[in-house]
Amino acid sequence: MKFTDLTLIPPLLQAVTEAGYTQPSPIQEKAIPPVLAGRDLLGCAQTGTGKTAAFALPILQLLSARKPPAGRPIRSLILTPTRELALQIQESFEIYGKHLPLRSTVIFGGVGQAPQVAQLKRGVDILVATPGRLNDLIGQGYVKLAEVEIFVLDEADRMLDMGFVQDVKKVLKFLPEKKQTLLFSATMPDEIIQLADSLLHKPAKVFVTPVSSTVEKIDQSLYRVDKTNKRRLLAHLLRAENVTSALVFTRTKHGADRVARELNRDGIKAMAIHGNKSQNARQDALARFKDGRVPVLIATDIAARGLDIAELSHVFNYDLPNVPETYVHRIGRTGRAGHGGTAVSFCCYDELDCLKDIEKLIGFKVPEVTEHDWPMQVFEKHVPAQNPRQGRPGKNEAAKPAEKAPRADAAKPAKKSANPPRENQPAQTGKPAKPPAKQPGTRPAAKPRGAAGPRNQPPDPYSAVRGGKAIVTKRPVWSTLPDVAPPAKKTESPAVAPRAPAGKTDGGENMARNNNRRRGKGRGGQQTQPGQQKKADDKQKVPEIKKTENGVFNFSDEELAADDSLQLIRRDGSDTKFTSFEDYMKNH
């Protein structure tokens, strides 16, 4: 069969011919006719069989034949799990629809949204998007899906694995009820079948190959090797084998970065792509890998989903996948479009269960290579440490014995408090004891650097503590208002002696005054004591204290009774506010 037998319009046939396609793939041959007829579709085919063209070509033909609504709204939505796959689908729409007056664009996260929003404002007919960024722009009002006629959910199995089920359900709420829905997946687990039953209405089902089948032209092999020797075996095979381009799969993002560093240390150019990489870094690594500048690309399953890499010679399963269907998808990266390829898998003792599940799914045992320099020597599962934050013990570090529980008879009686509670006052527990009274001739301990009082706040100039008693001061009104400067104080300028004319100043007198200051002497030349200057400053800062029956205050009881807000600064630095003077007296 040829593309001309699929009743495609001349602009699409011309674009397909220019792209170098002569015959449709099995998925294209079976999926294009029912989609052109307007039916829902459930398609399952291996990676690299042309699924993108199976829905891109009929969508372009259907939209070009229908009259577009006013304002150029979005008429087709393609939802994909990853950014790389979204970019590839967008490129396919541009290649196939370059002779048609239809616009398409792609939106995804990890980059700024301003250019994407600008394209949406100009109007697009076909939108390719990832779930996260699509929901963001819907919430901001930049995307309207009320006019969507064809909805495509691509790589549905990976969409579920990545936890995008809730995001997909949010998108479905904005779609119209009357629409054509296409669902494509590389594998077909039970969850996908249930999702298809809820989305599709009497769909045409296209199963090109069985779910568990692998490409026959792929040469598969298995190496049993310890986890610590995987990197050595990988570097050895990359040098020994006829490897022109290799895609290495790891289970975690940190594992991908670690393998890339180790290969570059061994002199093998390699780069890693995963979800933690920025979009520019991922695109740069993928471009270098496609043009041959970097022969080895390390990726996670999510980042490599849907990558279209032509003539990929080798695929390495550095870590076996937990899901058996993922193994089929991984090795499907090579052997695309009927070409041959090589798939090499590493298996440590912890992954033997995964290997059994994979072999059960594909229906045969993967051929094992037993003769190599790093055979498996560890035959017990690795148990992770209970506290991963603590480092591993050294080689000569002995295990610490368990701490013994204290004996009941060894319990010491509680010490009596040095300051028992007063009468009619409950005992306070849990609070630190007051520091001892200051001894004459001793200086208080210096505060640590950065400690500026209670809660690291600067000292309050309107409160003070003296002699172990609290001093309550009245704050000016302007001190409680934010961003209001205090009123300027009117001070009389002191009389200043006129300066001597230039050239007539007594240099000896100035030099003697400066020397006295350096030696700690006053203006009159008398030696000052170390604490005299500090005491003088304290007398200036703290107003005169008046003792009353109620405590120590710096204003009268009448002023206290008239004030609506009092602040008490205790010895321990706590801050207690009272609404009235009566409230203060009840607590003291």
In the predicted model, what is the mean pLDDT of residues 325-348?
A: 80
The pLDDT assigned to 20 comes to 84
**Angle formed by the axes of helices 352-362 and 324-331, nearest 10°:** 70
Pairing of strands 546-548, 126-129: unpaired
Residue 453 has pLDDT above 80, yes or no: no
For the chain, give the number of residues.
588
Contact predicate 553/463, CB 8 Å: no
Helical spans, DSSP H, in 77-229? 83-96, 114-122, 131-140, 156-161, 165-174, 190-199
pLDDT band at 281 (very low <50, low <70, confident <90, very high): confident
Weakest mean pLDDT among 4-13, 93-102, 432-441: 432-441
Residue of higher predicted confidence among 54 and 481 = 54
Contact predicate 152/55, CB 8 Å: yes
pLDDT tens-digit readout, 405-428: 445 444 444 554 445 545 445 445
Name the strand (E) or helix (H) holding 5: none
How many of the other CB atoms lie within 10 Å of CB of 563? Answer: 16
The pLDDT assigned to 290 comes to 85
Contact predicate 258/300, CB 8 Å: no
In the predicted model, what is the mean pLDDT of residues 520-537?
A: 51
The pLDDT assigned to 331 comes to 85
Q: Do 3-207 and 218-362 show the same overall fold?
A: yes
The pLDDT assigned to 324 comes to 86
Per DSSP (E only), the strands in 195-284 are 204-207, 218-224, 246-249, 270-273
In the predicted model, what is the mean pLDDT of residues 231-237?
A: 93
Contact predicate 231/262, CB 8 Å: yes
The whole-angstrom separation of Cα 251 and Cα 258 is 12
Residues contacting residue 489 through CB under 8 Å, at least 6 positions apart: none
The pLDDT assigned to 76 comes to 96
Residue 245 has pLDDT above 50, yes or no: yes
pLDDT tens-digit readout, 18-69: 988 888 888 899 999 999 999 999 998 766 678 899 999 999 999 999 888 8
Per DSSP (E only), the strands in 302-414 are 314-317, 341-347
CB burial of 264-303 (b: ≥16 within 10 Å; e: otherwise) equals eeeebebbbbbeebeeeebbebbeebbeeebbbbbbbbbb
Contact predicate 286/334, CB 8 Å: no
Contact predicate 472/567, CB 8 Å: yes
Q: Taken in order 163, 168, 173, 177, is the CA torsion positive or negative?
A: negative
Contact predicate 83/108, CB 8 Å: yes
In the predicted model, what is the mean pLDDT of residues 295-301?
A: 89
The CATH label, of 3.40.50.1860, 3.40.50.150, 3.40.50.300, 3.30.1490.20, for the domain at 218-362 is 3.40.50.300
The pLDDT assigned to 213 comes to 52
The whole-angstrom separation of Cα 195 and Cα 159 is 11
pLDDT tens-digit readout, 533-558: 555 444 444 444 444 444 444 444 55
How many of the other CB atoms lie within 10 Å of CB of 179? Answer: 17
Contact predicate 179/149, CB 8 Å: yes
Mean per-residue pLDDT over the chain, rounded? 74
Residue of higher predicted confidence among 457 and 264 = 264
Per domain, the residue ranges of the chain are 3-207, 218-362, 460-472+541-588
The whole-angstrom separation of Cα 194 and Cα 302 is 22
Residue of higher predicted confidence among 529 and 211 = 529
Residue of higher predicted confidence among 29 and 475 = 29
Contact predicate 571/465, CB 8 Å: yes
pLDDT tens-digit readout, 285-294: 888 988 889 9
Tokens at 556, concatenated: 């009268």
Tokens at 406, concatenated: 């204290």
Tokens at 357, concatenated: 């599940």
In the block, tokens 């006053």 appear at 522
CA 486 to chain centre: 46
In the block, tokens 């003070």 appear at 464
Name the strand (E) or helix (H) holding 44: strand 41-44
How many of the other CB atoms lie within 10 Å of CB of 568? Answer: 17
**Looking at the domain covering 3-207, what would its CATH class be?**
alpha beta
The whole-angstrom separation of Cα 335 and Cα 48 is 8
CA 167 to chain centre: 18
pLDDT band at 150 (very low <50, low <70, confident <90, very high): very high
Residue of higher predicted confidence among 566 and 282 = 282
Per DSSP (E only), the strands in 318-426 are 341-347
The whole-angstrom separation of Cα 531 and Cα 325 is 82
In a 13 Å sphere around the CA of 29, the CA atoms on its Cβ side amount to: 12
